[in-house]
């Protein structure tokens, strides 16, 4: 399982210290590197979602585009679950156990970070 950790990118700005909550430590130490590593898959999945929808992002203002991206990831349960699964699949057994102790909070953080990543990309 250490193999999974060794392939994750290092994010110097993702600091972890004792003054942070356990959730923030997990976010910076585990979630952020995994989401960065999975960037191309995150984008490919959303491109696939767009191809199967009748929505054209090109016709939207920046504000509308950001709202659409956030809404698509938070309200489309199938897409949301795929993104969460994409991240969970890269956990070690220990990380998965930590995730299960507070799954709703960590899932919320995963979706929030992926939504932001999509907004920054499109």
The pLDDT of 112-118, averaged and rounded, is: 97
Range scoring the smallest mean pLDDT among 53-57, 85-89, 111-115: 53-57
Confidence of residue 56 (pLDDT cuts 50, 70, 90): confident
Measured over the CA atoms of residue 69, residue 72, residue 75 and residue 80, the dihedral's sign is: negative
Angle between helices 77-88 and 39-51 (to 10 degrees): 160
**pLDDT value at residue 2:** 61
Exposed / middle / buried, residue 45 (Cβ in 10 Å: 0-12, 13-18, 19+) = middle
Exposed / middle / buried, residue 106 (Cβ in 10 Å: 0-12, 13-18, 19+) = buried
**pLDDT value at residue 1:** 53
């Amino acid at each position: 399982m250490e193999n999974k950790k060794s392939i994750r990118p290092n994010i110097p700005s993702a600091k972890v210290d004792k003054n942070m909550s356990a959730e923030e430590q997990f976010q910076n130490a585990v979630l952020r590197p995994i989401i960065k590593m999975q960037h191309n898959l995150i984008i490919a999945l959303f491109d696939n979602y767009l191809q199967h929808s009748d929505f054209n992002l090109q016709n939207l203002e920046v504000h509308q585009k950001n709202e659409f991206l956030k809404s698509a990831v938070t309200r489309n349960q199938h897409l949301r679950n795929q993104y969460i699964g994409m991240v969970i699949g890269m956990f070690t057994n220990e990380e998965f156990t930590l995730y299960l102790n507070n799954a709703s909070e960590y899932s919320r953080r995963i979706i929030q970070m992926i939504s932001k990543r999509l907004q920054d990309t499109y």
